[in-house]
A = this chain, B = another copy of it.
């Protein structure tokens, strides 16, 4: 992609920060990836401002991965999407973050990146036994 993509995780509590650390155990240090933690006592305004400051400090397009559709992090992400033309996905898991980090330099555009990350996130939710059985069916 010609423009860099900033990946921002928005979530209740601090698990986004640790999700990044977990991904880094697998794929190495991630640049231009940040989490915005909504901790107890943070107002929506403060949370919005914290996230907006990160977007303003970044360059290029923005992909926001939120924890849960309908929660405050997701609702704030949708407000930021309007203003900054960001892409927003919900239900972030480890496969999504790794896919986003791996593909962002080669995807044609942030829309294409978001679509791939969405597919990877859904496909990553699986029961391994069922997979193994399916593989046997095809063997």
A residues near B (Cβ < 8 Å) are 11-15, 17-19, 21-26, 40, 67-69, 71, 74, 78, 81, 87-96, 98, 114, 118, 121-122, 124-129, 131
Return A5 CB to nearest CB of chain B, in Å.
16
Return A119 CB to nearest CB of chain B, in Å.
9
Per assembly, the copies of the chain total: 2
Closest 5 pairs (CB-CB, A-B)? A13-B22, A91-B124, A15-B18, A121-B125, A91-B125
Contact across chains for A118 and B125 when beta carbons are under 8 A apart = yes
Contact across chains for B15 and A69 when beta carbons are under 8 A apart = no
**What chain B residues lie within 8 Å of A114 (beta carbons)?**
127
Return A35 CB to nearest CB of chain B, in Å.
10
Contact across chains for B25 and A40 when beta carbons are under 8 A apart = yes
